[in-house]
Amino acid sequence: MKATIYDVAREAGVSIAAVSQVINGKGKISEERRAEIMRVMERLNYQPSVIAAALTGKKTYTLGLLVPDISNPFFAEIARAVEDQGHSLGYSLVICSTDNKDERVERYLSLLQQKSVDGMIIGTGMDNKEMLKPLLENSIPIAMIAREMPGHDVQTVITDDFAGGRLAAEHLLGLGHTRLAVLAEQLKVSSSRERIRGFRQRLAEAGIDLPDDRVLASGDALVKDGKRKATELLQRAERPTAIFCCNDLLAIGALQAAKELGLRVPEQLSIVGFDNTILATVTEPPLTTVSQPTEEMGKLAVDLLLSQLKKEEGGSRRTVLQPELVTRRSTAAPSNE
Amino acid sequence: MKATIYDVAREAGVSIAAVSQVINGKGKISEERRAEIMRVMERLNYQPSVIAAALTGKKTYTLGLLVPDISNPFFAEIARAVEDQGHSLGYSLVICSTDNKDERVERYLSLLQQKSVDGMIIGTGMDNKEMLKPLLENSIPIAMIAREMPGHDVQTVITDDFAGGRLAAEHLLGLGHTRLAVLAEQLKVSSSRERIRGFRQRLAEAGIDLPDDRVLASGDALVKDGKRKATELLQRAERPTAIFCCNDLLAIGALQAAKELGLRVPEQLSIVGFDNTILATVTEPPLTTVSQPTEEMGKLAVDLLLSQLKKEEGGSRRTVLQPELVTRRSTAAPSNE
DNA sequence: TTGAAAGCGTTACCAG
DNA sequence: CTGGTAACGCTTTCAA
């Protein structure tokens, strides 16, 4: 049986108020009483109940994190960064993998609310943006991470996806590519849309058009879908010489497709990924990819969330971090077959 | 402001007891009252407080998961499996990355206890096994996953690491290797120890000795340490023709070391990994590795934990799942240089 | 300094 | 069926 504050009080021969004070280091207590109480707490292996404390109006010291899939290395990294920053500030982290499904998002949102988390960090997209409404109304602190939700007044930490797309285009253009294609996640994912937009814009500036039929969206099985879509692209008459993939998982799919079709990377096909996850470093060839500062993003999101929690300052700062192109060996000048 | 059960009761003109009943679907209430109450709950966007409910003795519907590092793909996969099974049963998951540090383990253990989680799944090792004692005494349900804690009476779900080690040895032996080496995690990790033991035993059966100086343990930076240790191994006079790595991350380090030294894999060096994470499929060459059924393990761990929670049945079943060797292209017969 | 007592939002038991 | 009312474990006035 877990010991309660009453047990401690009784054993120490004081009131529960006294015990509460030493727990929270508040109020005035004589040194000897405090020492005695601490001794009893120790002996009873007393652990104050966060639950009960939360009920009294205090916080639960728990944060929620919504991501599409925790087993996706990019989000696992984000999660680790969020966990670390939260932990250092005394918060625990509940993870929620949504698979980008509105129904799951909704379920988790409601669950987290019922559990009175002190705030939620959202790194998943949703079709129905109205879902956040009730949270905002209940004034539950929210921060978006790596994903945007325009029109809602929420803190947001993202890397400049648009710039990232441009970076990729710039690189490919510089190498001399003109027949390009894009592999994206579901188009409801805001970051994918932005990346494509940036990519496209930069191409346009170079006078290159990227027709819609060269932008393929995939489903949830990123690697598998990426491979399938890439295969489709690569078998077209006008085979692209370079593919920009909206994340590393898709890029891996593309890499596999190329291998299966006997196409050499980067000689016959250049591939650019996004996220710079550990995956990008282990493929062969290692992936040229656009890197996001996951650690910084996680830390920032937590800080923003908590600052929102402290002051009533609900302002929606939009913090944009800059991506970087990491050049590895999956890209090269197109061959003149 | 969040609506409470009182608000609902007032609006609906009933007692809070009535509201509580419709929330929990218990007791008897006339259909019309129930309908009216539900309507009000809807209108007020009422979310019952799990916190308050938990205080009255019910459960928190929250589970804790301790792993070394959520950004390690193997544990991310485990986490996803645990999350899914938990979620389908109504439980949320708090993740805790321990970095295999006792101090972090202890902190998290205590934190989870204070938050009254209904149970904890532990997939991290610890030097001081006494740390679990207080939990057991407070009869908090615990299940170990992918890791053992001999001497303690806890539910455990593991894959047969010993057999996994044998599998790796068997494979390498069959290929004709005789000069072997091992890259392990910290030796306090029980699974690593078992894998090595199995590996060694199988070698012994073939009359091959594996001296201790051929078994190198790494620190926490798995890939980096693996690379460093592998480099060390490969520069020895008696260069091994095959390395068995206790997980895929280490194997990747070994792969990188080999590349850097200009050694071809698998021609000049065979590498076997462990875990069969997504990483094993994307390296070049793709890794031959020992696979663990992560999904099944996660599901099982949750089920075991919850069954423990329901019945007072604290029995310590030890569930052992069988690993499988997945042969890819990082292993081959040794060359006769 | 110290302690008594009033909540916090729910559940559950017990009279109506 | 329905409503009153003790808990649950802790925090926080408010007196003493």
Q: Among A38-42, A142-146, B308-312, which is the least confidently predicted range?
A: B308-312
* Model confidence, pTM: 0.94
Q: What is the pLDDT averaged over residues B261-287?
A: 95
What pLDDT does residue A31 have?
Answer: 86
Domain B5-48 falls under CATH 1.20.1050.10: no
pLDDT in tens, A156-189: 999 999 999 999 999 999 999 999 999 999 988 8
pLDDT at B98 (0 to 100): 97
- Whether A7 shows a pLDDT value over 60: the answer reads yes
pLDDT at residue B313 tops 90: no
Which residue of chain B is at minimal alpha-carbon distance from A84?
B97
Out of B54, B61, B111, name the one closest to residue A92 (CB).
B111
Query: Is a pLDDT exceeding 60 seen at residue B337?
Result: no
Residues of B in contact with A66 (CB under 8 A): none
The closest CB to that of B83, out of A95, A111, A116, belongs to A95
The pLDDT value recorded for residue B162 is 97
Percent of chain B scoring above 90 in pLDDT: 82
The pLDDT score that the predictor gives to residue A178 is 96
- Under the banding of pLDDT at 50, 70 and 90, the label for residue A324 is very high
Q: Is pLDDT above 80 for A336?
A: no
Tell me the pLDDT of chain A averaged across its residues.
Answer: 93
- Tally Cβ neighbours within 10 Å of residue B15: 13
Query: d(Cα B75, Cα B123) in Å, to the nearest integer?
Result: 8
Residue nearest to nucleotide C7 (CA to C1'): A56
pLDDT above 70 for A131? yes
- Name the burial class of residue A310, with classes exposed (0-12), middle (13-18) and buried (19+) by CB atoms within 10 angstroms of its CB: exposed
Distance CA A204, CA A273 (A): 20
Taking the domains of chain B in order of start, what are their residue ranges?
5-48, 62-159+294-321, 161-292
Report chain A residues whose CB lies below 8 A from the CB of B282.
252, 255, 279, 282-283
Q: What is the pLDDT of residue B291?
A: 98
Position A312 scores a pLDDT of 59
Whether the pLDDT of residue A210 is over 80: the answer is: yes
Q: At what angle do helices A73-88 and A248-260 cross, to 10 degrees?
A: 160
Q: Could you read off the pLDDT of A253-281 as tens digits, one per residue?
A: 999 999 999 999 999 999 999 999 999 99
Query: Looking at residues A96-110, what average pLDDT do you find?
Result: 95
- Yes or no, beta carbons of A279 and B283 under 8 Å apart: no
Half-sphere exposure of B229 (CA within 13 A, CB side): 29
Q: What per-residue confidence (pLDDT) applies to A275?
A: 97
Q: Which residue has the tokens 């993003």?
A: A297
Measure the CA–CA gap between B195 and A300, rounded to whole angstroms.
40
CA distance B174 to B189: 28
A vs B, Cβ pairs < 8 A, gives 134
Average pLDDT, chain B: 93
B15 in contact with nucleic chain D (CB within 7 A): yes
Query: Under CATH, what is the fold of the domain B161-292?
Result: Rossmann fold (3.40.50)
Contact at CB, A92 and B112, closer than 8 angstroms: yes
- Let me know: does A102 contact A131? Beta carbons within 8 Å: yes
pLDDT of B45 strictly over 70: yes
Is there a common fold for A62-159+294-321 and A161-292?
Answer: yes
Which nucleotide shows the minimum CA-to-C1' distance to residue A114? C9
A140 CA, D13 C1': separation in Å?
27
CA distance B203 to B188: 23
- pLDDT value of residue B314: 58
Residue with more model confidence, B314 or A76: A76
Residue B127 pLDDT exceeds 90:
no
Stretch B289-305: mean pLDDT: 97
Residue A58 CB closer than 7 angstroms to strand D? yes
When pLDDT is cut at 50, 70 and 90, the band that residue A130 belongs to is: confident
For residue A163, give the 3-state DSSP assignment. helix
Question: Residue B117 corresponds to which amino acid?
Answer: V
Helices (H) and strands (E) in chain B, counts: 13, 12
CATH architecture of the domain with residue range B62-159+294-321: 3-Layer(aba) Sandwich (3.40)
Average pLDDT on B15-38 reads 89
The pLDDT of A306-334, averaged and rounded, is 88
For residue B138, what are its two tokens? 């407070």
Q: Please give the residue that has the higher pLDDT: either A38 or A152.
A: A38
Nucleotide nearest to B53 (CA to C1'): C10
What is residue B310's predicted lDDT score, i.e. its pLDDT? 80
d(CA B48, CA B37): 13
Query: Residue B136: which pLDDT band, with cuts at 50, 70 and 90?
Result: confident
pLDDT of residue A139: 81
pLDDT of residue B25: 87
Lowest average pLDDT, out of A19-28, A199-208, B52-61, B226-235, goes to A19-28
Beta bridge partners of B242: B180, B270
Average pLDDT rounded to a whole number, residues A129-158: 88
Which pLDDT belongs to residue B188?
Answer: 84
Nearest CA to B269 out of B190, B172, B146, B192 is that of B172
Looking at residue B50, its pLDDT comes to 95
Considering only residues A298 and A25, tell me which one the structure prediction assigns the higher pLDDT: A298
Q: Which nucleotides of D are covered by protein (CB under 7 A)?
A: 1-5, 7-13
Provide, rounded to the nearest whole percent, the portion of chain B with pLDDT above 70. 98
Specify the residue for token string 């996969």: B77
Instruction: Give the residue among B252, B281, B70, B275 at the shortest CA–CA distance from A224.
Output: B281
Tell me: the pLDDT tens digits for A67-85? 999 999 999 999 999 999 9
φ, ψ for residue A122, nearest 5 deg? -110, 120
User: How confident is residue B87, by pLDDT bands cut at 50, 70 and 90?
Assistant: very high
